[in-house]
């Protein structure tokens, strides 16, 4: 009986295992099916008829993994759709990029045949599967088709993507040398600026062309930067925020010389960039040239939607470009910090699609102020004059060194008019064809204060920036709502800051930024209730005296939505208040800069609740385990930019930044390594997003070099040596063809220049 039970148990167990195994196989099969990619190719007319027949009123949804500007929409019912199924996503080679979709789910992609034909898509897949070598007989039309499809999909621009771009470019260069293409029959293709940047970058690598100024992201004018300028200066809900191709005048001059003296380069450059154009471009003037022919390559970068001119001070150049280049596709035009000889509608005759022009801080040269401008400046001066007069009556007068009362002649009308006479005059350009937005800043100066007033369209004040230097006011309770509601920025120097003054600062409800330099906080040592200021975004306190350090945190914490806080080199050391006592209570803080001449040996375990910080800069003589105490709670693992100065990094800091995989920029200056190497503060098994590394006076070993070399995303490496000579043999191990994307800079003491030149020569090979 017992044996029988054992046999039954064995049989039952064996049967269960078989069932479980079969179930697992079916489950895995289903999982694989769920990860498949289904491409729906639909005819636009059929789908529109289907929507009408079904009386669909809901808004159509854009297809996942296809850029919205291509207008491909999802549908529930297929009407003569052609479907293509990829069961294993790895067969696609390229990686789809869409944060809204779950990677483990079945992916459906809907493509209108007006955008991409089914046969063209099959040709694209065929090329991808055979992309390991240069493709013979690839013509310009084929090249444009491939670029169009690459632009249509939301692909991750990773190493695979860039490799495919490079092989396609090499293929078209190779085939263009064999025979010339039917170029004039080809239609121009407008692609995203991010893809255009990739193509331009890979083309530069093929020809060893130095485009470093154009590919340093710190210098590039981003779409987000332009969007912020519009929002901050025009009060517009401008929603671009996309990538821009940044073309600098310096680059145009270099490119012009290459085209002039290298026929092969000219031929291949033309065959590629004649037919593909970016959607958004910024033209940034750095070096002006009297030879206008040097600007001719600009014609290859004329965008299809948005164009921004930035810092074009050479008005002759700018006028030449506007009058002689074709800009028929551009819809939105920006001028930021530009000079004009004149400003007339005739300049924009070639802008056939133009709808909107934004002009920010742009000026007319040799202009005479119109009556309208004179009246505007006069009214502004009067408003400011009345406000100052009200602030300096007998009851509020701050004791000046001269002990003189405020006098109206402090405001010099002629000086104010002369300083602002180049203000771009709107009535010179009065067009019903375009929406034109003007924003310029007028400056009104006083002996101890300056008011910079941003004016929109010569009609209303948009923002006022106040600069105070000396004790001119005892508070900022401005009586004119016209002034107070528009104060957005306040800069204070050499002022005694009382509780009354600080409370009045918080009364400026639309204030965004406060910068305090070389001033003295003379708050009383008792509880003062500061009103909450929900609009404040940035606070800077530097080189100032804090009489009662604890009181300053009441002022700081009264700004709950503060995004940036900088406390630098004040005479009162508040290191312990911040890091030991955790007196900063800002939950939305993104940028924190603390710099102080002081010394501390104790840890700071209470620096918590700071998981919102993405940019951290600390400079302080700290001999304890800085990194360990900073990152022990893993609340700073969202850090993207980190700068540390004058610390001792010890054994206790080992693997302290192991979880900071999102970090992109790390700078370490004058930090001493004690019993630890640079690479040991990280987890070498993890992948980091580090793109830029700057190290000053740090001894690097061979393991550090290996770690740096293995950073997949590293693009910029700077090594500075002031007090000792680096081991050039160790550093030279970074030089390898596989690391050619790294831009390296090494600076040493003057007495070691001979070795530096030798190393630079080695790097350049």
Q: Kindly state whether residues 246 and 261 are assigned to the same domain.
A: yes
pLDDT tens figures, 131-158:
888 888 888 889 999 999 999 999 998 8
> Strand 435-445 vs strand 356-360: parallel, antiparallel, or unpaired?
parallel
If you average pLDDT over each of 640-649, 699-708, 744-753, which comes out highest? 640-649
Least confident span in 652-666, 717-731, 732-746: 732-746
Q: Kindly state whether residues 167 and 130 are assigned to the same domain.
A: yes
* Mean pLDDT, range 671-675, rounded to an integer: 87
Domain end, chosen from 323, 338, 366, is at: 366
The yes-or-no verdict on residue 741 having pLDDT over 60 is no
Q: What is the DSSP string of 555-574?
A: HHHT-TT--EEEEES-SS--
Q: Within a domain: residue 762?
A: yes
Beta strands in 143-301 (DSSP E): 189-191, 245-248, 276-278, 280-284
Residue 225 has what pLDDT? 82
Q: Kindly state whether residues 135 and 205 are assigned to the same domain.
A: no
Report which DSSP code applies to 66: B
Q: Kindly state whether residues 19 and 83 are assigned to the same domain.
A: no
Q: Kindly state whether residues 22 and 98 are assigned to the same domain.
A: no
pLDDT band at 697 (very low <50, low <70, confident <90, very high): confident
* Mean pLDDT, range 741-746, rounded to an integer: 62
Q: Within a domain: residue 49?
A: yes
Residue 148 has what pLDDT? 96
pTM of the model: 0.76
Q: Kindly state whether residues 151 and 222 are assigned to the same domain.
A: no
Domain end, chosen from 332, 366, 400, is at: 366
Give Cβ neighbours of residue 259 (< 8 Å, ≥ 6 apart): 265, 266, 269, 297
Give Cβ neighbours of residue 336 (< 8 Å, ≥ 6 apart): 229, 308, 309, 310, 311, 360, 361, 362
Q: Kindly state whether residues 156 and 214 are assigned to the same domain.
A: no
Q: Are 491 and 517 in contact (CB under 8 A)?
A: yes
Mean pLDDT of the chain: 79
Q: Within a domain: residue 63?
A: yes
Residue 416 has what pLDDT? 58
The yes-or-no verdict on residue 17 having pLDDT over 60 is no
* Mean pLDDT, range 696-723, rounded to an integer: 83
Q: What is the DSSP string of 370-424?
A: -HHHHHHHHHHHHHHHHHHHHHTSTTT----TT-PPP-GGGS-HHHHHHHTTTBP
Residue 753 has what pLDDT? 46
Q: Kindly state whether residues 95 and 142 are assigned to the same domain.
A: yes
Q: Which residue has the higher pLDDT, 303 or 705?
A: 303
**Domain interval for residue 23:** 2-33
Rounded Cα distance, 285 and 474, in Å: 44
Q: Within a domain: residue 591?
A: no
* Mean pLDDT, range 651-674, rounded to an integer: 91
If you average pLDDT over each of 26-40, 125-139, 222-236, 298-312, which comes out highest? 298-312
Residue 371 has what pLDDT? 73
Q: Within a domain: residue 582?
A: no
The yes-or-no verdict on residue 409 having pLDDT over 60 is no
Q: Sign of dihedral through CA atoms 400, 403, 408, 411?
A: negative
pLDDT band at 441 (very low <50, low <70, confident <90, very high): confident
* Mean pLDDT, range 23-48, rounded to an integer: 66
Residue 308 has what pLDDT? 93
Q: Which residue has the higher pLDDT, 557 or 412?
A: 557
Report which DSSP code applies to 134: P
Q: Kindly state whether residues 56 and 123 are assigned to the same domain.
A: yes
Q: Within a domain: residue 741?
A: yes
Angle between helices 159-178 and 193-206 (to 10 degrees): 60
138 in helix, strand or coil?
coil
Residue 561 in tokens: 């939505």
Give Cβ neighbours of residue 168 (< 8 Å, ≥ 6 apart): 135, 138, 143, 146, 147
Q: Kindly state whether residues 169 and 192 are assigned to the same domain.
A: no
Q: Kindly state whether residues 43 and 163 are assigned to the same domain.
A: yes
Residue 232 has what pLDDT? 82
Domain end, chosen from 308, 336, 366, is at: 366
Percent of the chain with pLDDT over 90: 33
Q: Within a domain: residue 669?
A: no
Q: Kindly state whether residues 195 and 338 are assigned to the same domain.
A: yes
CA dihedral 441, 445, 450, 456 (to 10 degrees): -20
Number of domains forming the structure of the chain: 4
Q: Within a domain: residue 726?
A: yes
Residue 572 has what pLDDT? 86
């Amino acid at each position: 009986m017992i044996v029988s039970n054992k046999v039954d148990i064995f049989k039952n167990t064996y049967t269960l295992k078989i069932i479980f195994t079969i179930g697992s196989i079916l489950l895995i099969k289903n999982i694989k099916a769920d990860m498949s990619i289904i491409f729906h190719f639909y005819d636009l007319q059929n789908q529109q008829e289907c929507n009408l027949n079904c009386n669909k009123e809901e808004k159509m949804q854009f297809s996942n993994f296809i850029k919205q500007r291509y207008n491909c929409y999802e549908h529930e019912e297929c009407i003569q759709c052609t479907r293509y199924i990829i069961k294993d996503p790895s067969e696609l080679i390229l990686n789809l990029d869409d944060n809204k979709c779950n990677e483990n789910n079945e992916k459906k992609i809907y493509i209108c045949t007006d955008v991409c034909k089914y046969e063209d898509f099959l040709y694209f897949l065929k090329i991808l599967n055979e992309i390991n070598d240069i493709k013979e007989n690839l013509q310009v039309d084929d090249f444009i088709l491939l670029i169009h499809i690459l632009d249509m999909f939301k692909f991750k621009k990773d190493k695979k993507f860039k490799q495919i771009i490079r092989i396609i470019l090499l293929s078209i260069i190779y085939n263009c040398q064999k025979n010339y293409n039917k170029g004039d029959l080809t239609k121009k293709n407008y692609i995203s600026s991010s893809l255009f940047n990739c193509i331009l970058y890979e083309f530069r690598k093929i020809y060893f062309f130095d485009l470093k100024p154009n590919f340093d992201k710190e210098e590039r004018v981003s779409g987000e930067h332009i969007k912020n300028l519009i929002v901050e200066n025009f009060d517009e809900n401008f929603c671009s925020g996309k990538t821009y191709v940044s073309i600098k005048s310096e680059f145009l001059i270099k490119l012009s010389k290459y085209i002039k003296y290298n026929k092969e380069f000219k031929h291949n450059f033309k065959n590629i960039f004649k037919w593909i154009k970016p959607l958004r471009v910024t033209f940034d003037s750095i070096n002006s040239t009297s030879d206008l022919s040097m600007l001719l390559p600009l014609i290859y970068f004329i965008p299809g939607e948005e164009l921004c001119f930035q810092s074009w001070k050479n008005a002759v150049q700018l006028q030449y470009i506007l009058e002689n280049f074709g800009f028929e596709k551009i819809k939105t035009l920006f001028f930021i910090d530009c000079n004009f000889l004149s400003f007339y509608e005739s300049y924009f005759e070639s802008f056939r699609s133009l709808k909107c022009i934004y002009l920010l801080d742009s000026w007319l040269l040799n202009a005479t102020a119109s009556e309208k401008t004179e009246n505007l400046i006069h009214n502004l001066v009067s408003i400011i004059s009345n406000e100052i007069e009200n602030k300096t009556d007998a009851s509020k007068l701050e004791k000046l060194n001269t002990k003189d009362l405020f006098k109206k002649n402090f405001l010099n009308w002629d000086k104010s008019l002369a300083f602002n006479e180049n203000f771009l005059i709107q009535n010179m350009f009065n067009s019903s064809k375009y929406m034109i937005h003007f924003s310029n800043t007028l400056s009104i100066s006083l002996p101890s204060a300056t008011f910079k007033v941003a004016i929109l369209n010569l009609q209303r004040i948009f923002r006022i920036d106040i600069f105070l230097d000396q004790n001119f006011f005892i508070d900022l309770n401005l009586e004119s709502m016209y002034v107070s509601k528009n104060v957005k920025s306040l800069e204070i120097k050499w002022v005694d800051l009382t509780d009354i003054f600080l409370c009045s600062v918080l009364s400026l409800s639309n204030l965004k930024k406060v910068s305090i330099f070389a001033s003295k906080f003379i708050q009383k040592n008792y509880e003062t209730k500061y009103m909450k200021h929900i609009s404040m975004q940035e606070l800077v306190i530097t080189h100032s005296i804090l009489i009662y350090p604890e009181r300053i945190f009441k002022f700081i914490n009264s700004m709950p939505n503060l995004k940036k806080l900088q406390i630098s080199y004040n005479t009162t050391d508040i290191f312990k208040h911040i890091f030991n006592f955790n007196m900063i209570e800002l939950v939305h803080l993104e940028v924190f800069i603390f710099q102080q001449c002081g010394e501390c040996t104790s840890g700071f375990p209470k620096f918590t609740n700071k998981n919102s910080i993405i940019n951290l800069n600390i400079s302080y003589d700290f001999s304890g385990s800085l990194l360990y105490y900073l990152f022990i709670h893993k609340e700073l693992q969202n850090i993207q930019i980190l700068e540390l100065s004058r610390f001792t990094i010890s054994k206790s800091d080992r693997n302290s930044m192991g979880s900071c995989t999102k970090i992109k920029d790390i700078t370490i200056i004058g930090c001493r390594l004690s019993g630890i190497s640079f690479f040991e503060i990280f987890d070498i098994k993890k992948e980091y997003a580090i793109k830029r590394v700057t190290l000053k006076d740090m001894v690097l070993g061979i393991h550090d070099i290996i770690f740096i070399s293995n950073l997949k995303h590293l693009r910029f490496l700077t090594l500075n040596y002031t007090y000792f000579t680096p081991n050039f043999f160790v550093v030279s191990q970074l030089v390898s063809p596989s690391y050619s994307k790294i831009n390296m800079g090494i600076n040493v003491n003057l007495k070691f220049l001979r070795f530096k030149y030798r190393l630079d020569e080695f790097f350049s090979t």
